[in-house]
Each structure stands twice: as structure tokens, then as C-alpha cells.
């Protein structure tokens, strides 16, 4: 598995984790009213990881050296 494949796979799984943390945040707001601070800020770590891996995956095609036509 190459590095870009590994980052792509991690990006997908972090997106799932981010989605679940956002759903848990809204569920806690519906049940408790104002949830604890750690629930409110729990989506931030996956969001920053998504930002970093997403920028890498976006820039990757532009950064690859193209092979000259033979």
C-alpha cells in the first residue's frame, strides 16, 4: 500500500468518525439541551485531520511529476 492510498483510506475512515461525532453532538443537544463542552468540541479533531488529508489529496495530482512522452 502506498502512502497516498493509506492517506486516502484514513481520510475515508476519519470522515465516518467525523459524521458520527456530529450526529452525537446534535443528539446530545436534543436530549440534554446544552451538552458538555467535550461533546461540543469532539468533532474538531476529526475535522482538522480531514482538512490536512484533504489538502494533501487535492494537491497530490498537481505535485506529481509527469513523465515525458516517448
For 2-55, write each residue's pLDDT tens digit.
Answer: 888 999 999 999 999 999 999 999 999 999 888 889 989 999 999 999 999 999
CA distances from 10 to 27, 47, 54 (A): 26, 13, 10
Quick one: DSSP state of residue 41?
S
Q: Is 66 a residue whose pLDDT tops 70?
A: no
Instruction: Provide the whole-model pTM.
Output: 0.81
- The predicted pLDDT at position 33 comes to 86
- Surface-to-core class of residue 42, CB atoms within 10 Å of its CB (0-12 exposed, 13-18 middle, 19+ buried): buried
Amino acid at each position: 500500500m502506498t502512502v497516498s492510498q493509506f492517506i486516502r483510506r484514513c481520510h475515508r475512515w476519519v470522515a465516518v468518525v467525523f459524521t458520527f461525532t456530529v450526529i452525537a453532538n446534535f443528539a446530545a443537544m436534543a436530549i440534554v439541551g446544552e451538552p458538555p463542552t467535550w461533546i461540543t468540541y469532539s468533532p474538531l479533531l476529526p475535522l482538522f485531520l480531514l482538512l490536512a488529508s484533504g489538502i494533501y489529496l487535492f494537491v497530490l495530482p498537481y505535485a506529481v511529476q509527469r513523465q515525458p512522452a516517448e
